[in-house]
Structure 1
Amino acid sequence: MNRQQFLEFAKGKVLILDGATGTNLMKAGLPSGVCPEAWILEHKDVMMDLQRRYAGSGANIVYAPTFTGNRIKLAEFGLEKDIEKINTELVKLAREAVGPDVLVAGDVTMTGRQLKPVGDLDFEELIEVYKQQISILQKAGCDIIVVETMMSLQECRAALIAAKEISDMAVMVTMTFEADGRTLFGSTAEAGAICLESLGACAVGANCSTGPDKMEEIIRDMARVTNIPIIAKPNAGLPKVTPDGSTEYDMAPEVFVEEMERLIKAGASIIGGCCGTTPEFIAGLSARYKGEMKIEPVDEEGRPLARKINGHRYLCSERRALSFDLDDLFMIVGERINPTGKKKLQKELLEGSLDMVSEFARSQEQEGASILDINVGMGGIDEKDMMLKVLEEVMTITDLPLCIDSSSAEVMEAALRIYPGRALINSISLEKGKAEAFLPLARKYGAMFILLPLSPEGLPKDTDEKISNIKELSQKAYDMGLTIEDIIVDGLVATVGADPKAALNTLDTIEYCHENGFATVGGLSNISFGLPERSNVNTAFLTMAIEKGLTMAIANPAQEMLVNAAFASDLLMNKEGADLRYIQRMQLYAAAREAAKEAAREAANNPVASVSVATQMLGTAPAKEDVSFPGDNIIDIIKQDVIDGARRKIEKDTKKAVEMGVEPKAILDEALMPAINEVGDYFDKGKFFLPQLIAGAEAMKISIGILEPLLQKDADPDKKLPTVIIATVHGDIHDIGKNLVALMLKNYGFNVIDLGKDVPAEVIIKAAKDNDACVIALSALMTTTMKEMKNVIELARKEQVKARIMVGGAVVTEEYSQEIGADGYSADAAEAVRVIKKILRIG
């Protein structure tokens, strides 16, 4: 079944999915620590009975039990060579169980290895892993593919790209979200839905991690920005430990069925159950909801829910969504990450340094840019390699959506392929071969694009020719399946000094586009080329263009007069939210001016005093790299390096501090420790997400690596650091959370012994005894393995181990930790440090 066929199949009705597999198989005897797929093939009757019951309960779609059937997962059990046999037999088993009238979905999930830069897995390798499994699933006879329980939007993209490159099968994707409504990697529901729909998913949604009562906002947020079906597959509430030591969920079938109405009202039309649900749950859903849509989706106020609005445009990064229409607030595309005319940036790129790139990314976001343009085209470098490096750097610094700016189709595809969001292509024209090379990339990777109305003959001679080019190129886009909402037309600003009608022609073009439903963009600087006091001309032209309907401009957001005039124009045009935005901007500049005055006073007393970011925002200060820092300020610089996750920069700054004579202990105590505490605090408050937390911890690790030999010289040989044994419990092969906790603890000075993943209780307890550990830290990601934590705690008591035990992981709750007798519970890596300090009663 292809995507269009699936959309027709799902149109106007509620479809029913199956319920849990893992928790039901555990009840049927699946032991922890074995390969589930292999066990199922040894106990086919158990799986077939479960799936027959799901089909008999009214499920329209049943998942084949191929959840961990990729080669990386299977390699954990030495079964990677049997991947084709295992996946093929499991699909055939599912088909035999449910018959011809129920769709069989080939089930795909995470590999357990993390993508770079968080882990060691290359993106292209991950795509190949998914291609291999999906190819087998298609050949085995699956009707559709489901990619489920995903924490990383980038891994979702890898699976979708893999499927599209080898198959036309419809692909559903569901992600799992934390309590704050974001994935572990910080993706919002909106960003995930926008990205995945644009990339070709036939349905998107959420599964696992929570009961239906906690999933409502996630589903509604997805429904607002998509037109494809929304999936809701929650758990049966929260896990509880029963007196016999097994794990049960606290929501009865009738309560679950009742609660699911709120998810249908929020916009879900494909519903089922995850952990803890059984065929009884699915039977209840089918009896009440299956078939024609009877429940109208509503928003928080009970009003009809507006699904994705025609005329709205959507861009997103991994962690932020941007929605706009033709009459929304004017936006700035930050232009500074572009080496053209910037000798210092050119020099840094040639040297492989990304310091200025990082600073430009941070400052442009602070200064009000909505999108960042990324251009690294210049002589003397490998543009594709540099583009990928810059993207990796910028994506750890800013949440803003990116505009990929390159004239090379090879560079453009490499960038779009790796970018974990919905990007904007800059640009596509009718120049020879350009549309033919770039439009397929926009279609394949779900990108928007800037339409540049150039023809093979070059610049259009007048407005009529410009409009003709717009019509011709947009029609080419429509023929490829793109829509008018995927296009932003460049007004093609010419120089008024050479052509007195240049501004008028561009304004006419903008007006035409606005009247005909096209969003517009313009680069402003050309208009004033060769004239004195160019900012006056640029500013006047921009306000006129905004009045004609200009959507956005490629500009430097630090240009005070230009941006202030743009925001004031929106205010005068009575655009919603313009008043608050203008006032906030003026407050920002008032604060910046005060900061500039303070910096001037400091400079009068100390000629080499640092210059604040606020002063730089006003355009009155040199870039950071031009400033000389006194000894007392290098501490602040290193601290900021940790907060920014500036892994390249912190090594240089730490060495500089040591050369200047700053005490290593002062760097540790006054820069690194306060910085990592601040990073943890930002993470707790939802300002930072997993990538920033890891980047900060890694930056600190680099600095400590330089300081450690110097600190050891002064260390007290009698002072023994507390030892922590850390492990992912037996049967669980997920370790990203555990690895991050270990890194954070090491950074805080603990002696961490990391036993890895899938570690038996006996091994953990022996390591604790042998190393006289003060703490045992246990991690589990799956509900099917979390009960192993209780086994470790019971064994520790039996063996009279004195170490305190802390537990954590995506499925673990504080209530669960108390039920199994743990000494502490940590929701995340940042909290783990505080919990251990608390239970050990230190600092």
Structure 2
Amino acid sequence: MASLPNPSLSSELAENRTRIAALRGALAERVVVADGAMGTMLQAQDPTLEDFENLEGCNEILNITRPDVVRSVHEAYFEVGVDCVETNTFGANHSALGEYDIPERVYELSEAGARIAREVADEFTASTGQQRWVLGSMGPGTKLPTLGHAPYTTLRDAYQQNAEGMIAGGADALIVETTQDLLQTKAAVLGARRAMDATGLVLPLVVSVTVETTGTMLLGSEIGAALTALEPLGIDMIGLNCATGPAEMSEHLRYLARHSRVPLSCMPNAGLPVLGRDGAHYPLTAPELASAQETFVREYGLSLIGGCCGTTPEHLRQVVERVRGLSPTARDPRPEPGAASLYQTVPFRQDTAYMAIGERTNANGSKKFREAML
């Protein structure tokens, strides 16, 4: 006999879809504000080695051992008025957990992190009447597949577990963030897509790349290469986070505003870190961050903003106040069809000369190649 559908599961799925649709609507109509730094706030509560299950620094373990600590961070951000918080799952991937010899716990820690954030979001939605959402954080890990540190398929399959866990825990969107290697980014995006197919729930998928002070991603990719490579994967939003403050992000956001077909996001650090006797200090004040984000919204039409390293609830409180009531400024993007290498994008433009497409052509190093050219 065929099994009967579970009414509670059907109801939960319907609620999830309603929330997700509301988030999509909000991103289209107004500026949505996310939270700020997570790791520093967790560490500020001085968790013990026992809390980390003797895996010191593995913040995702706290989702299991100290959910109260993780909850308190989400609460601090919701209390200042942000629309959504990111899950404590930045390191819930194969390479990061593999360094602690617990890669098999990707799903468990991802689900727990999303469930904690979901519970807090629902409590604030009920108490304030303002809908709050959960962004499922998918971090870069510690292995770069382009450099051969880990197999692409291994990373992709683990990202699928990461995403499936967060979807099960109640995430409303997935954010592939702090990406440094375009192949790692693709692994996360395709893992997330596979998770959506497996769960039957389609969430907004945000990709946030990290551009260093050098003006490129860690492996040398320009922002144009990132856009050309990632936009065709069907992502819902692209933006920047981490590595620098807003001042260093402006030109890269300008490029995205001119060329990106999809909406934009920005979550900068509180400036560039300044090393002192007590470690790194982030100098950008809350009013300065709020002013920068308002400027970005008005000039580049950002839909999702927030903060990264060094930003606090006070930073985000002032951001919320500055952008309240603002809608993303209308953009008139002029996408340029093209192809990208790891490093840069090349538009499909042909002037009076022929277009040459090729890789390294060392006739001296290869007899076969020299004969083929001749």
Which TM-score tier does this pair reach, normalised by the shorter chain? 0.7 to 0.9
- 1:276 is paired with a residue of what secondary structure? coil
- 2:31 is paired with a residue of what secondary structure? strand
| Structure 1 residue corresponding to 2:177, chosen from 113, 134, 148 | 148
- 1:269 is paired with a residue of what secondary structure? strand
Query: Which residue does the alignment assign to 1:726?
Result: none
Query: Which residue does the alignment assign to 1:288?
Result: 322
Query: Which residue does the alignment assign to 2:333?
Result: 307
Query: Which residue does the alignment assign to 1:705?
Result: none
Q: How many residues align?
A: 334
- Aligned positions of 1:116-265 closer than 5 A: 116=146, 118-167=147-196, 168-243=202-277, 245-264=278-297, 265=299
Q: 1:55 to 1:332 in 2, by over 3 A?
A: farther
Q: 1:173 to 1:330 in 2, by over 3 A?
A: farther
- 1:197 is paired with a residue of what secondary structure? helix
| Structure 2 residue corresponding to 1:109, chosen from 139, 146, 162 | 139
- Aligned positions of 1:444-843 closer than 5 A: 624=370
Give the distance between the partners of 1:108 and 1:319, measured in 2 at CA. 23
Give the distance between the partners of 2:85 and 2:254, measured in 1 at CA. 25
Query: Which residue does the alignment assign to 1:329?
Result: 351
Deviation at 1:199, TM superposition (A): 0.6
Q: Which has the higher contact order (CA 8 A, sep 6+)?
A: 2
Give the distance between the partners of 2:369 and 2:227, measured in 1 at CA. 38
Asked whether the equivalents of residues 194 and 225 of structure 1 are also in contact (C-alpha less than 8 Å), the reply is: no
Query: Which residue does the alignment assign to 1:318?
Result: 342
Give the distance between the partners of 1:292 and 1:259, measured in 2 at CA. 14
- Read off the aligned partner of 2:286 and give its amino acid letter: P
- 1:183 is paired with a residue of what secondary structure? coil
Asked whether the equivalents of residues 208 and 274 of structure 1 are also in contact (C-alpha less than 8 Å), the reply is: yes
Query: Which residue does the alignment assign to 1:271?
Result: 305
Q: Deviations over 1:152-189 (max 9, x none)?
A: 11111111112222313221010111113210112111
Q: 1:223 to 1:4 in 2, by over 3 A?
A: farther
Deviation at 1:20, TM superposition (A): 0.5
Q: Deviations over 1:42-92 (max 9, x none)?
A: 332222122112122222221010110123322322333333332222111
Q: In the alignment, is residue 29 of structure 1 matched against residue 63 of structure 2? A: no
Deviation at 1:144, TM superposition (A): 1.0
Asked whether the equivalents of residues 240 and 250 of structure 1 are also in contact (C-alpha less than 8 Å), the reply is: yes
Q: 1:4 to 1:203 in 2, by over 3 A?
A: farther
Q: Give the structure-1-normalised TM-score.
A: 0.37
- Read off the aligned partner of 1:29 and give its amino acid letter: D
Give the distance between the partners of 2:26 and 2:121, measured in 1 at CA. 18
- Read off the aligned partner of 2:27 and give its amino acid letter: A
Give the distance between the partners of 1:23 and 1:330, measured in 2 at CA. 56
Give the distance between the partners of 2:72 and 2:313, measured in 1 at CA. 11
Q: 1:623 to 1:135 in 2, by over 3 A?
A: closer
Q: Deviations over 1:713-762 (max 9, x none)?
A: xxxxxxxxxxxxxxxxxxxxxxxxxxxxxxxxxxxxxxxxxxxxxxxxxx
Q: Deviations over 1:274-301 (max 9, x none)?
A: 000011111111111134327x47xxxx
Q: 1:77 to 1:226 in 2, by over 3 A?
A: same
Give the distance between the partners of 1:80 and 1:162, measured in 2 at CA. 16
Q: 1:71 to 1:624 in 2, by over 3 A?
A: closer
Deviation at 1:148, TM superposition (A): 0.5
Q: 1:626 to 1:19 in 2, by over 3 A?
A: closer
Give the distance between the partners of 1:626 and 1:76, measured in 2 at CA. 47
Matched-pair identity in %: 26
Asked whether the equivalents of residues 111 and 167 of structure 2 are also in contact (C-alpha less than 8 Å), the reply is: no
Asked whether the equivalents of residues 239 and 248 of structure 1 are also in contact (C-alpha less than 8 Å), the reply is: yes
Q: 1:122 to 1:151 in 2, by over 3 A?
A: same
- Read off the aligned partner of 1:103 and give its amino acid letter: W
- Read off the aligned partner of 1:313 and give its amino acid letter: P
Asked whether the equivalents of residues 7 and 228 of structure 1 are also in contact (C-alpha less than 8 Å), the reply is: no
Query: Which residue does the alignment assign to 2:9?
Result: none
Deviation at 1:267, TM superposition (A): 3.7
- 1:77 is paired with a residue of what secondary structure? coil
Query: Which residue does the alignment assign to 1:490?
Result: none
Query: Which residue does the alignment assign to 1:75?
Result: 98
- Read off the aligned partner of 2:228 and give its amino acid letter: I
| Structure 1 residue corresponding to 2:36, chosen from 11, 14, 19 | 19
Q: 1:35 to 1:13 in 2, by over 3 A?
A: same
Asked whether the equivalents of residues 106 and 146 of structure 1 are also in contact (C-alpha less than 8 Å), the reply is: yes
- 2:302 is paired with a residue of what secondary structure? coil
Q: Give the structure-2-normalised TM-score.
A: 0.80
- Read off the aligned partner of 1:69 and give its amino acid letter: A
Q: In the alignment, is residue 97 of structure 1 matched against residue 120 of structure 2? A: yes
Give the number of the structure whose alpha-carbon radius of gyration is greater: 1
Q: Deviations over 1:192-220 (max 9, x none)?
A: 12322211111111100111111101111
Deviation at 1:306, TM superposition (A): 4.0
- 1:147 is paired with a residue of what secondary structure? strand
Q: 1:19 to 1:112 in 2, by over 3 A?
A: same
Give the distance between the partners of 2:22 and 2:228, measured in 1 at CA. 21
Query: Which residue does the alignment assign to 2:65?
Result: 42
- Unpaired runs of 5+ residues, structure 2, are 1-15, 49-54, 126-130, 197-201
Q: Deviations over 1:102-121 (max 9, x none)?
A: 111111112312215x2242
Deviation at 1:128, TM superposition (A): 1.0
Asked whether the equivalents of residues 94 and 155 of structure 2 are also in contact (C-alpha less than 8 Å), the reply is: no
Deviation at 1:334, TM superposition (A): 4.2
Query: Which residue does the alignment assign to 1:680?
Result: none
Q: In the alignment, is residue 88 of structure 1 matched against residue 111 of structure 2? A: yes
- Unpaired runs of 5+ residues, structure 1, are 298-304, 338-356, 364-609, 611-621, 628-843
Give the distance between the partners of 1:83 and 1:166, measured in 2 at CA. 13
- 2:171 is paired with a residue of what secondary structure? coil
Q: 1:68 to 1:228 in 2, by over 3 A?
A: same
Deviation at 1:40, TM superposition (A): 4.7
Deviation at 1:5, TM superposition (A): 7.2
- Read off the aligned partner of 1:192 and give its amino acid letter: A
- Read off the aligned partner of 1:141 and give its amino acid letter: G
Query: Which residue does the alignment assign to 1:675?
Result: none
Q: Deviations over 1:682-730 (max 9, x none)?
A: xxxxxxxxxxxxxxxxxxxxxxxxxxxxxxxxxxxxxxxxxxxxxxxxx
